[in-house]
Amino acid sequence: MSRLDIVRDGAVATVWLTRPDVHNAFDEHLIAELSAALRALDADDAVRAVVLAGRGKSFCAGGDLDWMRRMAGYGDDENRRDAAGLAEMLRTLATLGKPTIARVHGAALAGGTGLVAACDIAVATPNASFGTTEVRLGLIPATISPYLIRAIGARAAQRYFLTAERLGAAEALRLGLVHEVVDADALDARIAALLECLLAGGPQALAAAKRLIAEVVDRPIDAALIARTTEGIAAARGSAEAREGIAAFFDKRRPAWGG
């Protein structure tokens, strides 16, 4: 039985986690299915943006209890393979060539917090809760750490990785884990407004902008970085997409990708 439901609406694909009975907790099967779905959406030129959401009361409560019980009996090689699957899924989400939005309500714990941090944009309801609770099980938030530290910074991560405290939506907003907190009845409308903004951008430019952030963040502003940014804007200016976008602006019309 599928653990996902992918709903297409024009150029937008919403990937729903569909294990509401376990608060959309993931196991090795959901991880593999989500990885495959994300790769397929990335390869589909008709898809311009991806929303990640959860059915039921929660976004994603982290690891499935049965999965964790099985992991306790794994050997070193099995644990490495299992962890690599989770790490690759998160990397695929974080490096998707299309903009991603996390639609967050209810619990988004442990790996669920990682999913939120791996998305480009996160919008949450006031009842959303987050947390890196791994140490209470004798584990560590290893595979989600690159995305979470990028989102909230090392200093905040030092506190929450160690204390395993729950974060409410307001604190997640203050730390930068989520970008906006809106009432539940306004959640979908706000995401629709953000999608409208995203779909107004050139598809190639959006993908290049995502790569640019990854290449520039935490780098010294030296000759190599200046050269990289110079090459980036020069390549963009010479692209067919930029020619179309600039022509559309002066012609006072929508560009070809605007729909």
Give the other-Cβ count within 10 Å of 46's Cβ: 9
Identify any residues that bridge with 100 across adjacent strands, giving them in sequence order: 50
Name the pairing type of β-strands 107-109 and 129-131: parallel
Which residues, including other chains, have CB under 8 Å from residue 56's CB and lie 6 or more apart? 20, 21, 23, 24, 106
d(CA 160, CA 219): 26
Residue 180 designated active-site: no
Looking at residue 217, the DSSP 8-state letter turns out to be T
Q: Which helix (H) or strand (E) holds 16?
A: strand 12-17
Name the pairing type of β-strands 121-124 and 107-109: unpaired
Looking up tokens 């794994």, which residue turns up? 74
Closest CA to 203 of 1, 11, 74, 5: 11
Catalytic residue among 134, 165, 171, 231: 134
Task: Indicate which residues carry an active-site annotation.
Answer: 134
